[in-house]
Structure 1
């Protein structure tokens, strides 16, 4: 019994040490990006990557939200256009802050639920061989709790960005 209590105590101590180290060592600035090469011209990829309505055809995050309802403001492809999403446990807005046709879509994300926060996202298209390289990026600031969860965030972002880019590839290569 004493051995079990010692083991539990050591585990708790290690968790506390990790949390303190994570809060002190990890930067508050978070950047994640992932790329894919799509066998289609930029103009075709842009149909799905250059507007909010096109984005929502392959966005893996909105697919995870139960009972999601999306409301658009504007056509979804011009500066200032936005959409608002609301689901069982998630709510937020995404607005276009920069667009360069066939090259870049930059958006501002405002998360309302389950936590308040802001992030910037960029989708950049560049020619690569006979296809198009798509790089999807996100930048935001991590609070103390998010710093602790950073390794899990990286894994989740890798999974979700990979799924989204794979779906974009399938749509664009049809």
Structure 2
């Protein structure tokens, strides 16, 4: 019994040490990005990237809830166009709006998360020629509060999984 209590005490101590280190050492500025090369010209890739409606075809976040409700404002391919989503606990609720667009090159959006956590982020989709194909770089930037700093390793893992899935789906669609 004493051994079990010692092990439990060590685990609790390590958890507390991790929380303190995470709060002090992890930056509040969060950046995550992933890229894929798609064997298609950027004009063809842009058809699937340059509009919020097309983005939601391959976006893994909106696929995480088959009953998600998405309401668009505008056509989705102009500055100021947006959509609002409301889904289950995994998807939450929020809004995404186009803040900058350069056809065949980049789509920049602002994300406003409402549930489960309030917050804002900036997402970028950048297309650059690479050989006979197109390199698509998808990134997200936001500011982490203290609780989110503690969860950063879990966030990185989740973002990696979701971005990899999304870019893989985009590649399949754009290479057809």
Structure 1 residue 65, shift from structure 2 partner: 2.7
Separation of aligned partners in 1, 2:143 and 2:73: 27
| Distance across 1 between alignment mates of 2:162 and 2:32 | 11
> Which residue pairs with 2:108 in the alignment?
106
Any residues of structure 2 matched to 1:22-171 within 5 Å, and which?
22-89=22-89, 90-171=92-173
Q: Tell me what 1:20 maps to.
A: 20
Per-residue deviation, 1:67: 1.8
Query: Are 1:34 and 1:158, in contact at CA under 8 Å, matched by a contact in 2?
Result: yes
1:88 offset after TM fit, Å?
Answer: 2.5
TM-score by length of 2: 0.97
> Which of structure 1's runs of 4+ aligned residues deviate more than 2 A?
none
CA distance in 1, matches of 2:131, 2:66: 39
Normalising to structure 1: TM-score of the pair?
Answer: 0.99
Distance 1:67 1:165 in 2: 22
Give CA deviations for 1:20-46 in whole Å, capped at 9, x if unaligned: 000000000000000000000000100
Q: How large is the RMSD of aligned CA atoms in angstroms?
A: 0.7
Paired residues of 1:66 and 1:88 also in contact (CA < 8 A) = no
Distance 1:120 1:67 in 2: 25
Q: CA deviation at 1:66?
A: 4.9
SS at match of 1:57: helix
Secondary structure at 2:67 match in 1: coil
Q: Any conservation in 2 of the 1:52–1:82 contact (CA below 8 Å)?
A: yes
Distance 1:17 1:77 in 2: 47
What's the counterpart of residue 8 of structure 2? 8
Structure 2 unaligned spans of 5+: none
